[in-house]
Amino acid sequence: MIGEDEVKKIALLSHLNLEEGESVSLANELNSILGYVDKLQKLDTTSVEPTSHVHGSKNIMRPDVTSPSMPTELALSNTPELSGRFIKVPIIIEQNGEN
């Protein structure tokens, strides 16, 4: 069972803010989902290899050659705030050196 505090921690990890009282309802919903998926604990998985990719293919390489890419202007055409060719964001480091 996960409680309100754990929900708040998961929200923080997910970069999501919770509204007033939402941690209680989310704890209930998450517990109901986790309660359902808990049946996997019954399964004997000793010496079973995990599957991350169904066809088992890995490390697909292409020749290391340059090719034309998308023009910068087009690539930035959906960016909310630009300053010339640069993406604008709010301050990252506080001026007093904290954060």
Dist CA 61 CA 16 (whole Å): 36
Least distance CB 8 / another protein (angstroms): 11
Residue 17's Cα: distance from chain center in Å? 14
Q: Are 30 and 54 in contact (CB under 8 A)?
A: no
* Closest CB 21 distance from another protein, rounded Å: 14
Would you count residue 1 as binding another protein (CB under 8 A)?
A: no
Query: In angstroms, rounded to a whole number, what is the distance separating the alpha carbons of residues 27 and 5?
Result: 9
Q: Point out which residues bind another protein (CB under 8 A).
A: 2, 6-7, 10-11, 13-17, 26, 29-30, 32-34, 36-41, 43, 45, 48-55, 57, 60, 62, 70, 74-81, 87, 89-92, 94, 99
